[in-house]
């Protein structure tokens, strides 16, 4: 069984920054890739940023170079550095893990391709 635990969510003002973390534990059976997703009430979960093909990164268009995803395999931790936050970024952010990394940037941002999920961490950006 694999467990994912997110942390780092908070309330900030427009233009602020946050760093989310996601720690992986349990039996991952070796190589895996991870991603960040977010969801607001009444909307589908959407991909934010992900690692694929080992070390490549994929970002949603709305990130606009404001966010950076990093995966530290030595620490079993995934990070999401979020800068220049906007009210539209308000959501519950989830990390996810998939055992098949794949080679396509688009697939890395699709929630249906992931096997395990964390419980989510709330990010609120006020104007």
Q: How far is CA 1 from CA 27, 83, 126, in A?
A: 6, 33, 37
46-52 vs 56-59, strand pairing mode: antiparallel
CB 124 within 8 A of CB 12: yes
CB 125 within 8 A of CB 89: yes
Give the whole-angstrom CA distance, residue 114 versus residue 112: 6
pLDDT, mean of each 10-residue run, the chain (127 residues):
96 98 90 94 96 91 93 92 97 95 91 96 97
Selection from 84, 111, 119 nearest residue 12 by Cα: 84
Give the pLDDT of residue 32: 87
């Amino acid at each position: 069984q694999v467990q994912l635990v997110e942390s780092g969510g908070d309330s900030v003002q427009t233009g602020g920054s946050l760093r989310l973390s996601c720690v992986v534990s349990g039996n991952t059976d070796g190589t895996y890739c991870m991603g960040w997703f977010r969801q607001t009430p009444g909307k589908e979960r959407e991909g934010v940023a992900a690692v694929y093909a080992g070390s490549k990164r994929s970002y949603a268009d709305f990130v606009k170079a404001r966010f950076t995803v990093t995966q530290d395999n030595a620490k079993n931790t995934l990070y999401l550095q979020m800068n220049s936050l906007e009210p539209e970024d308000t959501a519950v952010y989830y990390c996810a893990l998939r055992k098949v990394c794949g080679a396509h940037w688009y697939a890395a941002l699709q929630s249906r391709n992931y096997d395990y999920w964390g419980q989510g961490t709330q990010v609120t950006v006020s104007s």
